[in-house]
Structure 1
Amino acid sequence: MQKILVVEDESVIRTALRRLLERNEYNVSEAASVQEAETQHTLTDFDLIISDLRLPGAPGTDLIKKAGDVPVLIMTSYASLRSAVDSMRMGAVDYIAKPFDHSDMLSAVERIIADHPTARAESSRSPQSAEDSHPQATGFIGNCQAMQTLFSNIRKMAPTDSTVLVLGETGTGKELVARSVHQASKRAGNTLISVNCAAIPDTLIESELFGYEKGAFTGANASRMGLIEAADGGTLFLDEIGELPMEAQARLLRFIQEGEIRRIGSVTSRKVNVRLICATHRNLQALAAEGEFRQDLYYRINVLRLSLPPLRERGKDILHLAEHLMQVQLERLGKGPMELSPKAIQAITTYQWPGNVRELEHAIERAVILSEGDEIDNETLGIDLELVNINRIRGQQGGGVSTTPAAQQPRSISSDPTEDLSLEDYFQRFVLEHQDSMSETELAQKLGISRKCLWERRQRFDIPRKKAGSSSGTRRKKAAS
C-alpha cells in the first residue's frame, strides 16, 4: 500500500484529503506544518507528499529538498500563479489548484505515484546504477516512468532482429524510437530506410516498396530497386502502416514470412536481410477485427511492442522538454538568452497538447521568433491561457457537482470535521463558520481562491454575503471587549 503524507494547516481540508485517500486504499499520515512533518515523520518513507504552499512557518516548497527523491505535489490557488510556477522550478512534481475536485486529486495522485513506482527503493540506489538500468534513448528527453520504461525496453529489444511495433499518438516521436532501436542494434552501421505509408499513393506503394523490372508497366523504362531491397542488411521503418492498402499488405506478409521480395514484373525472388520496424497511431487490432487490416499481418508485426505516452501524461517532462526546445531554437536562430514567463509555464503545463511533441516544438519555434526581449509569454506560444484555465476549472469544479440549485438541496452539514463530506460541503461550512469574523479577502485567502471565485461559489451554493459592516462590527466588539 502506497504511503502518502498530507501537510496542510487547515484541519478541514487535511481531514477531507485523508478520508478521500484512505477510501482509495492509500496509507495516509498528516502534519500541520513543515516542522511537524519533519519531527513526527521520516519523509523518505513516503511514496508521495501532498503539501499546501502556504503553511505556518516554513513554506511547503521546503519539503521538496528535505524529501529527497520523494515526489511533492503542491496545493495552491490560481491567485498564487507565480508561486506555483516557482515551486515547479524548485522541483515540485506538479501543482493542483484549490479548491479541487475529488477526481482531479485522485487522478494526480495516481499519475504521480505511477511515475515514481519505487521512490523509496530508488532513494537508496546510487545515481550510476539508476542510469545504467535506464539509459537515455537517442534524441529523447524524459524522466517520467513511462519514458524510463521505454528506454529500458529499447535497450532490451534493439540487439535482436525481431520485428518491432511502435504505438503512439501523432507527434509523440515514433520515428525517433525507430532510429534509437536501429542505432542501438548490430545493424547501426548499415542503412535505415524510413517510409511513410500514408504519404505514398496507393497506386505507387507496391512499386516503391518492392521495385519493378523494365517494361513491367507503362512508364517503367528501366528496372528499379525497391525500398525494402535498398534496406538489405539494415532496418526498414514503415511509419503509419495502418494506411497500407490490402494488396500491399499481402506482399509485405510474404516478405516477412519468407525473407524475400519479388519486383513487380519479375518471375524470380530475391533474398533480403532486413529488420522491420512498424509504427502507427491507429488501433490495428480493432482495424483487423473490422476487416480493414490483415489479421495475419498484424500478428506478424506485433512481436515486440513499444508504446509512447502522449505529452500530456508526461508530467514535469513537458517543462523540461519545452526549455530544451527553446534553447535549440535560440541557437538555431542566433538569438540571445530567453526564459519562459510564469504564464507561459502555466500554459505549457496545463494545455493538453493534442499534437504532442511536434505541436510543442512548433509553438516554441514560433514563440522564439516572435518574442522581443528576454521572456516568452503564453500569447507568443499561441495558447489562450484564459480558455485553458476555464477548461481546467470546469474539470475541477464540474465533476460531482449537482445541477440542482443549492438552495433546493437538503444538506446536513455537521460540525464534526471527521464527517465524510464533499469539498463543496466543507466550503459551505467554512464560510458559514468564519464569515462573521473574517472579511471576504481573508476568507478567499484561507480557502486559497480569489475573491471573484468566492463570490461565484456563494452564488452557486446560495450563501448570502453578510451586509457591509457586520463583520467589521463584530471585530470591533471583540476588540472592545
Structure 2
Amino acid sequence: MIRILTVEDEVIIRTALKRLLEKNGYQVDEAGSVKEALDSYDLGDFDLIISDLRLPGAPGTDLIAKSGDTPVLIMTSYASMRSAVDSMKMGAVDYIAKPFDHEEMLNTVQRITELHQLHREDDIIEISDTTFIELPKMVGSCAPMKRVYKHVKKSAPTDCNILIHGETGTGKELIARAIHQLSHRTNREVICVNCAAIPETLIESELFGYEKGAFTGANTNRIGLIEAANHGTLFLDEIGELPLEAQARLLRFLQEGEIRRIGSVETQEVDVRVIAATHRNLKALSEKGEFRQDLFYRLNVMQITLPPLRDRGKDVLEIASNFLQKTCDKMNKPEAHFTPKAIQALTTYHWPGNIRELENVIERAVILSDSEEIDYDLFDIDMELVQLETLDGDMEVSAARAANNTLKDSNEEGLSLEDYFQRFILEHQDQMSETDLARKLGVSRKCLWERRQRLGIPRKKAKTSGA
C-alpha cells in the first residue's frame, strides 16, 4: 500500500486530507510541523510527503532536503504562488493551490506516486555528466526521463530494433538521434523518414528505390532510403501510418537484412539499424488487423516511452529557460527572464502540443517582448487552462473549489475564505452588480445570496430619488 505523510498545522485541513486519501486506498500518517515529522518518522519510508508551505517553526520546504528520494508536494494558497514556484526550484516535485478540489488532489497524488514507484522499480541509474555533454539537447531530470536516458544508454551500443512511443511533440526524433549518436554507427548517416508525409503510392519506391523503366516516369535508377542508410540508422517516424503492403516488404527487410528495388530481380544485403516511432498504440492496431502483428513484434524489441510534458513536473521550467536563452541568443536580444505569473502559466498549463508547443510559445514571446521580462500575456495559450492570481492581486476562487471544499484558505492578510467573501462584498457592492460580484468571486448568484444570508450581509438597497 502506498504510504503518505501529511504535514499540516491546521487540524481541520489535516483531518479532511487524511480522510480523503484513506478513502481512496492510501496509508496516511500525520504531523503538525516539520520538527514533529522529523522526530516521529523516517521520511524515506514514505512514497510521498504532502506539506503545507507555512508551518510553525520551519517552512514545509525544509522537508525537501531531508526527504531523500521521497517526493515532496507543497500546498499553498493562491496568494503565495511566488513561494510555490520557489519551492519547485528548491526540489519540490510539484505544488497544489488551496483550496483544492478532491479530484485535483487525488489526480496529483496518483501521478506523483506512480512516477515514484516507477523510479524505484526500474532502479534508475544516474546519467553521467559526459552523457549530457554528448547529448546537449536532452534537458530534464524527472523520473520518467531518467528512465528514458537509462534505456537510451543501454540500447544504443546494440543493434536491436527500437520502438519509441509518445505523444506528438515529445521529442521522438531527438531520442532517435541520441541513440544513433551513442551507437557504433555514429560516423554513418541517420536517415529520417516521416511515413505519414509520403503518399501511399510512393512509399515503397521511396523506401526501396527502383530500376529504370520499372514504371511510368522511372527514367533512371534510384536508390531507396533504406539503401541510403546502409551501415547507418533508419528512423521511421509515424510508423503506424505505413500502408499494409509496404509493411510486408519492410518485414522481409527486417527478417532477411536484404532489399530489392522495384523492377529489379536481384536482392542486395544491407546493414541498417531501424528505429521506429509512433503516437499510436500499435499493439491495439495489430489486434484489429490495421497493423501487421509480426512487424510490430519485430520493431518492438526495445520500447522507449516518452512522457508528455504535463507529466514532467519541474522539467517544464528547465526546458522553458533553455528555450528562452537559445531564442534570445538566436535573435540577438538581451538575456531575458520569466515573471512569477509567467512561471505560474508555464507550470500549470496542460501543454497538449508538448515540447514543440512550448518552444513555439517561448519564441513568440521573445519576438513580442519589449523588455527583459517575459510575462504570461505574451504566451499564445488557452488562459482558461492556467491557474493565475487575478491581476488586481486578489484571490479568485472558482465555483468548483468553493463548493467542494470546506478547507480554510488565507490571502496575504491571513483572512479565512468567509472573511475574504465578506470583505470583498462590502468593498465592491457599491460599484458592482450582484451578477458582477458573483462572477468575480467565481460563484453563482444563488450561492452569493446564500452566503449573504449566512454571513448576515444584506444587499445594498438601490438609491431612490426624493419626491
TM-score range normalised by the length of the shorter chain: 0.7 to 0.9
Deviation at 1:97, TM superposition (A): 1.4
Q: Pick the aligned partner of 2:417 from 441, 444, 451.
A: 444
Residue of structure 2 in register with 1:467 after alignment: 456
Amino acid of the residue matched to residue 19 of structure 1?
R
Report 1:341-352 matches (<5 A).
Answer: 341-352=339-350
Residue of structure 2 in register with 1:53 after alignment: 53
Q: Residue 210 of structure 1 contacts residue 262 of structure 1 at CA under 8 Å; is this kept in 2?
A: yes
Structure 1 residue 240 corresponds to structure 2 residue 238: yes
Structure 1 residue 324 corresponds to structure 2 residue 300: no
Structure 1 residue 199 corresponds to structure 2 residue 172: no
Residue of structure 1 in register with 2:162 after alignment: 164
Relative distance call for 1:268 and 1:2 in structure 2 (3 A) is same
Relative distance call for 1:341 and 1:458 in structure 2 (3 A) is farther
Amino acid of the residue matched to residue 315 of structure 1?
G
Relative distance call for 1:462 and 1:395 in structure 2 (3 A) is closer
Q: Residue 444 of structure 1 contacts residue 454 of structure 1 at CA under 8 Å; is this kept in 2?
A: no
Q: Residue 3 of structure 1 contacts residue 28 of structure 1 at CA under 8 Å; is this kept in 2?
A: yes
Deviates more, 1:41-50 or 1:107-116: 41-50
Report 1:44-123 matches (<5 A).
Answer: 44-117=44-117
Deviates more, 1:42-51 or 1:373-382: 42-51
Structure 1 residue 270 corresponds to structure 2 residue 268: yes
Local SS of the residue matching 2:249: helix
Relative distance call for 1:177 and 1:396 in structure 2 (3 A) is farther
Whole-angstrom distance in 2 between the partners of 1:135 and 1:30 = 41
Q: Residue 191 of structure 1 contacts residue 235 of structure 1 at CA under 8 Å; is this kept in 2?
A: yes
Deviates more, 1:208-217 or 1:452-461: 452-461
Deviates more, 1:291-300 or 1:448-457: 448-457
Residue of structure 2 in register with 1:130 after alignment: 126
Give deviations 1:166-207, integer Å, cap 9, x for gaps.
111111111111111112222222211111111112222111
Q: Residue 126 of structure 2 contacts residue 146 of structure 2 at CA under 8 Å; is this kept in 1?
A: no
Local SS of the residue matching 1:97: strand
Deviation at 1:11, TM superposition (A): 0.3
Whole-angstrom distance in 2 between the partners of 1:242 and 1:168 = 12
Structure 1 residue 335 corresponds to structure 2 residue 308: no
Residue of structure 2 in register with 1:225 after alignment: 223
Deviation at 1:346, TM superposition (A): 1.2
Relative distance call for 1:386 and 1:40 in structure 2 (3 A) is same
Deviates more, 1:278-287 or 1:288-297: 288-297
Whole-angstrom distance in 2 between the partners of 1:161 and 1:134 = 22
Structure 1 residue 14 corresponds to structure 2 residue 14: yes
Local SS of the residue matching 1:327: helix
Relative distance call for 1:270 and 1:15 in structure 2 (3 A) is same
Deviation at 1:265, TM superposition (A): 1.1
Give deviations 1:35-90, integer Å, cap 9, x for gaps.
33344444454432211122234332333334454322111122332232232233
Relative distance call for 1:242 and 1:181 in structure 2 (3 A) is same
Whole-angstrom distance in 2 between the partners of 1:18 and 1:208 = 60
Whole-angstrom distance in 1 between the partners of 2:421 and 2:89 = 21
Amino acid of the residue matched to residue 103 of structure 1?
E
Whole-angstrom distance in 1 between the partners of 2:401 and 2:100 = 10
Whole-angstrom distance in 2 between the partners of 1:243 and 1:449 = 59
Deviation at 1:326, TM superposition (A): 1.0
Deviation at 1:366, TM superposition (A): 0.9
Whole-angstrom distance in 2 between the partners of 1:454 and 1:278 = 48
Give deviations 1:275-307, integer Å, cap 9, x for gaps.
111111112223223332223322322222111
Amino acid of the residue matched to residue 110 of structure 1?
Q
**Count of aligned residue pairs for this structure pair:** 431
Give deviations 1:330-374, integer Å, cap 9, x for gaps.
222221121111111111111111111101111111111211211
Q: Residue 114 of structure 1 contacts residue 145 of structure 1 at CA under 8 Å; is this kept in 2?
A: no
Q: Residue 127 of structure 2 contacts residue 146 of structure 2 at CA under 8 Å; is this kept in 1?
A: no
Deviation at 1:153, TM superposition (A): 1.3
Whole-angstrom distance in 1 between the partners of 2:113 and 2:249 = 45
Relative distance call for 1:227 and 1:395 in structure 2 (3 A) is farther
Deviation at 1:446, TM superposition (A): 8.6
Whole-angstrom distance in 1 between the partners of 2:168 and 2:33 = 44
Whole-angstrom distance in 1 between the partners of 2:31 and 2:283 = 49
Relative distance call for 1:97 and 1:222 in structure 2 (3 A) is same
Local SS of the residue matching 1:37: helix
Amino acid of the residue matched to residue 18 of structure 2?
R
TM-score (norm 1): 0.80
Structure 1 residue 190 corresponds to structure 2 residue 163: no
Task: Return 5+ residue gaps in structure 2 as ranges.
Answer: 389-394, 425-439, 459-467
TM-score (norm 2): 0.82
Whole-angstrom distance in 2 between the partners of 1:453 and 1:54 = 25
Deviates more, 1:98-107 or 1:218-227: 98-107
Whole-angstrom distance in 2 between the partners of 1:450 and 1:275 = 68
Residue of structure 2 in register with 1:252 after alignment: 250
Relative distance call for 1:379 and 1:205 in structure 2 (3 A) is same
Amino acid of the residue matched to residue 304 of structure 2?
L
Amino acid of the residue matched to residue 221 of structure 2?
S
Relative distance call for 1:448 and 1:337 in structure 2 (3 A) is farther
Amino acid of the residue matched to residue 126 of structure 2?
A
Relative distance call for 1:394 and 1:374 in structure 2 (3 A) is closer
Amino acid of the residue matched to residue 352 of structure 1?
H
Task: Return 5+ residue gaps in structure 1 as ranges.
Answer: 402-422, 432-439, 470-481
Deviates more, 1:89-98 or 1:111-120: 111-120
Local SS of the residue matching 1:75: strand
Local SS of the residue matching 1:442: coil
Local SS of the residue matching 1:364: helix
Amino acid of the residue matched to residue 104 of structure 1?
E
Amino acid of the residue matched to residue 455 of structure 2?
K
Amino acid of the residue matched to residue 177 of structure 2?
R
Relative distance call for 1:399 and 1:443 in structure 2 (3 A) is closer
